[in-house]
Amino acid sequence: MSQLYETIQRIEYVIGRRNLPGFKTKGLIALRAGFSLALVDASTPDDPAKLAILKRAAQDVLGENV
Amino acid sequence: MSIKQKLVLGLVACMALLAAATALLVGVGTERAVRLAALQAVEAAGAGLAATERADVEKLDATLLALAANPALAEAYQARDRGRLLAVATPIFERLRRSHDVTHFYVHDPAPARTCFVRVHKPSEFGEVVERATLTQAIEKRGRGAGKELGKTAFALRVVEPWLVDGKVIGYLELGEEVDHFLSRLKAQTGDDYAMLVEKRFLDEQAWRATYGDRKPWGAGEVVVVDDTTGDPSTLAGATVADLPPGGRLVDELERGGKVLARGVVPLKDATGATVGGVVVLHDITALHDALLRVRSGVLVMLLAVAIVMTLLILFLVERLVFARLSRMTETLEDLGARLAGGEYDVAARAPSGPNDEIGRFEEFFGRFLTVVGGLLKELTAHR
């Protein structure tokens, strides 16, 4: 499982835990990250740059580290 | 700076410009109205002066006709008895002087002699040939000759009538009055102030100085003040009589003792029709001036109020019709865009729909666009 996909799983966990609107929250993170989270799956190869951007976007939108 | 701020600034600038331009126009219009009214007052004063002169000419003429019908006067004159003529005429002249401002009473011999047979007002002087224009008019027209005539120092209104006995001209009768009292009488009628100016070239300086001394100073300049009801010589400063139009000329507006006065000059003509000076007219236009200023202030206040109301109305309409809807549309599209990016592909159903105007059509277009993009992403995701 790629770290990218794993990070998205953690994001979905936080969204579920905090009962946030799923599509909108993920969309806001995707808009900040610059790519669609829905197109990332377990086989998507890791990209350190994309991963860093995704974590920063999640931090900005969710207000916590994932 | 936002579009809304730019729009507000632009609107305020436009309204300020419009208000300034209108204020300028109102100001110019007010000044013109005041000048026009002042000029009309000056022209009316000139007409009043002429009317007063006409009335006095009629008065003197009627008196002359009565004198011509006096058989005692005619008999004395036809007998060439100067003493008897004076004995009959002097009491009549004294009454005329006391009651009607008559200052001159002559009997002239007929043409071609044109000699002064008797001066009832100055019996010691007689016998000279009279060349005055009014006598010439009476001889040539075999009727009335009338008008203002300058002497060496005085300006008198004279009326001459042929003295007819049994249809034959036996001589000429002349009555005259100094014009000084004209202005005080005119002032009593109109409330305006007047000053009569005569060009010095028509007068004899030595005779003037000898007659009037300091009472009516000869002074500097091209004109001398013959009569003045203003009581303030400074009000005559700068009033010139050169090149006066027939109806007179408005010189300026003066402020004296809390009053606004229109100052003008109308031509002063002698019996030959030649302009020999001018009459300065001071007409009180305080009420008119104040009324027009009040109108101008009212217009400016109204204009300011309309500009403010119009600005607020335009801003309200633009805010309501454009900016509020753009704001709502932006919020909605940000929300839908985020949902779409987050994987909710059927967001088109949530797309806003508004009235069929410019913004409404854009919202509709964007809704259709989201439908297509959402459908495309759904297909792509399904085929992975």
How far B322 CA lies from chain A's nearest CA (Å)? 27
Exposed / middle / buried, residue B356 (Cβ in 10 Å: 0-12, 13-18, 19+): exposed
Cβ–Cβ contact A56 with B under 8 A: no
**How far apart, in whole angstroms, are the C-alpha atoms of residue B284 and residue B111?**
49
In whole angstroms, give the CA distance from residue B45 to residue B57.
18
Smallest CA–CA distance, residue A13 to chain B, in Å, is 15
* ipTM reported for the complex, 2 dp: 0.73
CB contacts < 8 A (A, B): 46
Q: Does B349 touch chain A (CB under 8 A)?
A: no
Comparing CA positions, the residue from B261, B198, B273 lying closest to residue B228 is B198
A28 vs B338, B343, B377: nearest CB:
B338
Rounded to whole angstroms, how far apart are CA atoms B220 and B124?
35
**The predicted structure's pLDDT at residue B128:** 93
Which of A22, A31, A41 shows the shortest C-beta gap to B341?
A31
Q: For residue A12, what is the nearest residue in chain B, using CA coordinates? A: B342
> Do the bridges between strand B259-269 and strand B168-178 make them parallel or antiparallel, or are there none, so unpaired?
unpaired
| Residue B116 near residue B176 (C-beta atoms within 8 A) | no
Taking contacts as CB-CB distances below 8 angstroms, the residues of chain B near A41 are 384
Residues of A in contact with B380 (CB under 8 A): 39
Choose the mutation target among B333, B344, B373, B383 for the interface with A, i.e. most A CBs under 10 Å. Answer: B344
Residue A37: closest C-alpha in chain B: B342
Would you list the DSSP string of B208-239? HHHHHTTSS---SSSEEEEEESSS-GGGGTT-
Of B343, B377, B384, the CB nearest to A26: B343
Q: Pick A24's closest partner by Cβ from B338, B380, B384.
A: B338
* Separation of alpha carbons B218 and B15, rounded Å: 59
384 residues of chain B, pLDDT tens digit each: 788 888 888 888 988 888 889 888 888 988 888 888 888 878 887 888 888 889 999 999 999 999 999 999 999 999 999 999 999 999 999 999 999 889 999 999 998 989 999 999 999 999 999 999 999 999 999 999 999 888 777 788 999 999 999 889 999 999 999 887 778 888 888 888 899 999 988 888 888 898 888 888 888 888 888 888 888 878 887 778 888 888 888 888 888 888 888 899 999 888 888 889 999 989 888 888 888 888 888 988 998 898 889 889 998 998 988 888 888 888 888 888 888 888 888 776 666 677 788 888 888 888 788 778 888 888 877 776
Q: Which residue(s) pair with B161 in the sheet?
A: B173
Identify residue B330 by its one-letter amino acid code. Answer: T
Q: Is the dihedral of CA B40, B45, B46, B50 positive or negative?
A: positive
Please report, in tens digits, the pLDDT of each residue of chain A (66 residues total): 789 999 999 999 999 999 999 988 998 998 889 888 888 888 888 889 999 999 999 999 999 998
* Subunit contact B337:A38, Cβ cutoff 8 A: no
Helices A48-62 and A3-17: crossing angle in degrees, nearest 10, is: 10
What is the residue whose two structure tokens read 């001066």? B119
Which residues 241-260 in chain B show a CB within 8 A of chain A?
Answer: none
Residue recorded with tokens 């009420």: B287
d(CA B142, CA B137): 8
Is the minimum CB–CB distance between B360 and chain A shorter than 8 Å?
no
Cβ of residue A34 closer than 8 Å to a chain B Cβ: no
Cα maximum dimension of chain B = 151
How far is the alpha carbon of B321 from chain A, nearest alpha carbon, in Å?
29
Contact B343/A41, CB-based, under 8 Å? Answer: no
Can you say how many angstroms the Cα of residue A63 is from the centroid of all Cα atoms in its chain? Answer: 13
Task: Please give the backbone phi and psi of residue B82, each rounded to the nearest 5 degrees, phi first.
Answer: -65, -40
The amino acid sitting at B296 is R
Q: Write the DSSP string, chain A.
A: --HHHHHHHHHHHHHHHTT--HHHHHHHHHHHHTS-GGG--TTSPP-HHHHHHHHHHHHHHHSS--
Q: Name the residue of chain A whose CA is nearest to B336's CA.
A: A24
Scanning the structure block, which residue is given the tokens 């992403």? B377
What's the CA gap between B60 and B177, in Å, rounded?
Answer: 9
Instruction: Decide the pairing of beta strands B223-228 and B193-199.
Output: antiparallel
- Pairwise CA distance, residues B323 & B3, whole Å: 9
Q: Is B341 in contact with A30 (Cβ distance < 8 A)?
A: yes
Q: How far apart are the first and last CA of chain A?
A: 16
Cβ burial B100-118 (10 Å sphere, 16+ → b, else e) = ebbbbbbbbbbeeebebbb
